[in-house]
């Protein structure tokens, strides 16, 4: 019997491969950063071939590190940066343009035109989403409209669209399988979350041929087998979920009302709302959480465009630190932010404000402000954004939240987690394995091939590493919340 599951975690700044054993423990990890392209202000791109080559290289590294081969791997699970849009030629198998990343804002003006046509409610009712440049639909249209000959090739059925999951499966199966899962499909602004099908009205609205679209499958089933030379033997590809849905599953947020936040490049707060797609009244997104067998679960989501990437910006843009790991020590060297508030709207503000044109704001700087205060304010800004979304979720649910499960790279920052608990006034719970995005994909793949018997067997593996208990709300916390609310108003371009 194969002893391992291989999870591919293809993120916004790096590709990773993680090998898990039957106990859900990490046996090996390989990670490789890849190039970020910023051709114009507000534009963000990746090279799809570099995404694939980096993923292929970490697969090889992760399996060779523990001296295993394809026969030892029961299945592959894939989790990915969502919304990032790749269009490729079916004959040459080459992308016709760079991947347009979820953070990219180039279609903001077109989105404004759609809103002006009174389409907001129609799009929300069908997709659970707001009209925004964040999602894949307008990115596909931009590629078809701006790459010479693209639209003609698309009309002839020669082009394929995929988010990164589809692209990796296409490459792993050498063009045999063109599919996605319900979670990634639900982030395109082209998918009806009630019927679980591509929506002809929305495809027509954006002038996207249906022939480009991948087949939509569940999150846990065998989609096909690897055909690449990375593995000497065929390995089933058996789990797919967008990164945030995968983290929700990996965190075992299985009951309505359970909530997690993933602190990655962006931050993504997701709340399980059960088997009915409740539409938010507080500017949150409704999305498919997962589909296993014929059972579908839904979630409310609040997206934060700039989370951990604010630390990258302090490192690369301002040279405040040499490595991201230094941020906690620098921020801890001062007792608080010294009245400095940093709204990290470096690529606009997402939930619950949805201001595509907002830009980063730092207020409260005095002669006594140091780089440590700005570092502290940057971390605080991540927690404040999460607080805003949690407040909106509590309003939609009509009940207070009871705890927040956390994962992702920045969840290892104790200073940030304690401040988060203090702001929310509820415990913040960090699991022993914070790689829950990859773990969720591994679980979904393992369930499909019988590596784990059922969800109950998996549930017993989830363990708490640390709980951050909140301090009672005091004048300092109240003042901080008021200062943040004021800074947000200064940042917004629509009042």
Question: Is residue 101 one of the residues assigned to a domain?
Answer: yes
Q: Per the annotation, does 308 bind a ligand?
A: yes
Question: Is residue 116 one of the residues assigned to a domain?
Answer: yes
CA distance 214 to 80: 16
Give the chain's mean pLDDT. Answer: 92
Model pLDDT, residue 96? 97
Question: Is residue 30 one of the residues assigned to a domain?
Answer: yes
Could you give the count of Cα atoms lying within 13 Å of 9 in the half-sphere of its Cβ?
31
Q: Per the annotation, does 93 bind a ligand?
A: no
Q: Per the annotation, does 367 bind a ligand?
A: no
Model pLDDT, residue 295? 94
Residues composing the chain: 495
Q: Compute the C-alpha angle 413/401/254, nearest 5°.
A: 85
Question: Is residue 106 one of the residues assigned to a domain?
Answer: yes
CA distance 492 to 495: 6
Model pLDDT, residue 141? 97
- Give Cβ neighbours of residue 458 (< 8 Å, ≥ 6 apart): 24, 252, 443, 446, 447, 452
Please give the structure tokens belonging to residue 147.
Answer: 């790459």
Strand residue runs (E) in 118-199: 159-162, 179-181, 191-192, 197-198
Question: Is residue 220 one of the residues assigned to a domain?
Answer: yes
Provide the β-strand partners of residue 100: 45, 85
Pairing of the two strands 341-343 and 404-407: unpaired
Which of 58, 54, 69 lies closest to 3 in space, CA to CA?
69
Provide the β-strand partners of residue 261: 269, 406
Q: Is the pTM of this model over 0.85?
A: yes
Question: Is residue 150 one of the residues assigned to a domain?
Answer: yes
- CATH code of 132's domain: 3.30.420.40
Model pLDDT, residue 2? 79
CA distance 267 to 392: 15
Q: Per the annotation, does 14 bind a ligand?
A: yes
Which of 386, 431, 387, 427 lies closest to 412 in space, CA to CA?
431
Model pLDDT, residue 235? 92
Q: Per the annotation, does 475 bind a ligand?
A: no
- Tally Cβ neighbours within 10 Å of residue 104: 26
Model pLDDT, residue 495? 56
Model pLDDT, residue 330? 86
Identify the domain containing residue 159 by its residue range: 4-244
Spell out, as residue ranges, where the chain has pLDDT lower than 70. 495
239-266 residue pLDDT tens = 999 999 999 999 999 989 899 999 988 8
Q: Per the annotation, does 84 bind a ligand?
A: no
Pairing of the two strands 159-162 and 259-263: unpaired
CA distance 234 to 232: 7
117-134 residue pLDDT tens = 999 999 999 999 999 898
CA distance 250 to 406: 11
Model pLDDT, residue 69? 85
Q: Per the annotation, does 16 bind a ligand?
A: yes
Q: Compute the C-alpha angle 403/405/407, nearest 5°.
A: 160
Q: Per the annotation, does 413 bind a ligand?
A: yes
Which of 129, 453, 6, 79 lies closest to 251 in space, CA to CA?
79
Do residues 271 and 285 make contact, with C-beta atoms less than 8 angstroms apart? no
Residue whose token pair is 């989830």: 462
Question: Is residue 73 one of the residues assigned to a domain?
Answer: yes
Question: Is residue 203 one of the residues assigned to a domain?
Answer: yes
Number of folded domains in the chain? 1
Model pLDDT, residue 316? 85
DSSP state of 348: B
């Amino acid at each position: 019997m194969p002893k391992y599951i291989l999870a591919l975690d293809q993120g916004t700044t790096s590709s990773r491969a993680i090998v898990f054993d039957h106990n859900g423990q990490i046996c090996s990890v390989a990670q490789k950063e890849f190039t970020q392209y910023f051709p114009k202000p507000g534009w963000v791109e990746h090279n799809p071939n570099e995404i694939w080559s980096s993923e292929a290289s970490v697969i090889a590294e992760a399996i060779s590190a523990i001296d295993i081969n394809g026969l030892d791997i029961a299945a592959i699970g894939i989790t990915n940066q969502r919304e990032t849009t790749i269009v490729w030629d079916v004959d040459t198998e080459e992308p016709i343009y760079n991947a347009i990343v979820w953070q990219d804002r180039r279609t903001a003006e077109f989105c404004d035109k759609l809103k002006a046509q009174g389409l907001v409610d129609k799009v929300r009712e069908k997709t659970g989403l707001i009209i925004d440049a964040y999602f894949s639909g307008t990115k596909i249209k931009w590629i078809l409209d701006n790459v010479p000959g693209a639209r003609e090739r698309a009309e002839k059925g020669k082009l394929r669209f995929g988010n990164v999951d589809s692209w990796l499966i296409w490459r792993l199966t050498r063009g045999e399988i063109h599919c996605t899962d319900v979670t990634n499909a639900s982030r395109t602004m082209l998918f009806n979350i009630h019927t679980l099908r591509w929506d002809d009205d929305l495809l027509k609205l954006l002038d996207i041929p249906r022939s480009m679209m991948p087949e939509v499958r569940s999150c846990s089933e065998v989609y096909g087998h690897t055909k690449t030379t990375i593995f000497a033997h065929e390995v089933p590809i058996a789990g797919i979920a967008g990164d945030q849905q995968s983290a929700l599953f990996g965190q075992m947020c299985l009951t309505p009302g359970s909530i997690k936040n993933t602190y990655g490049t962006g931050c993504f707060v997701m709340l399980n709302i059960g088997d009915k797609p409740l539409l938010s009244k507080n500017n949150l997104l409704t999305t498919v959480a997962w589909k296993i067998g014929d059972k579908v679960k839904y979630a409310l989501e609040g997206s934060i465009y700039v989370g951990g990437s604010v630390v990258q910006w302090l490192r690369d843009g301002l040279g405040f630190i040499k490595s991201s790991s230094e941020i906690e020590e620098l921020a801890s060297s001062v007792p608080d932010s010294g009245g400095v508030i940093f709204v990290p709207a470096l690529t606009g503000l997402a939930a619950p404000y949805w201001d595509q044109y907002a830009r980063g704001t730092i207020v409260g700087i005095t002669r006594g402000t140091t780089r440590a205060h700005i570092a502290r304010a940057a971390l605080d800004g991540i927690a404040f954004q999460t607080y805003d979304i949690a407040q909106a979720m509590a309003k939609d649910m009509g009940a207070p939240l009871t705890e927040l499960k956390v994962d992702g790279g920045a969840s290892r920052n104790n200073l940030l987690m304690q401040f988060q608990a203090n702001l929310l006034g509820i415990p913040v719970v960090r699991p022993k394995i914070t790689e829950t995005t990859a773990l969720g994909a591994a679980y979904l793949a393992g369930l499909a091939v019988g590596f784990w018997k059922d969800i109950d067997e998996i549930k017993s593996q989830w363990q708490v590493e640390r709980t951050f208990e909140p301090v009672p709300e005091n004048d300092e916390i109240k003042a901080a919340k008021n200062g943040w609310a004021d800074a947000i108003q200064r940042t917004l371009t629509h009042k």
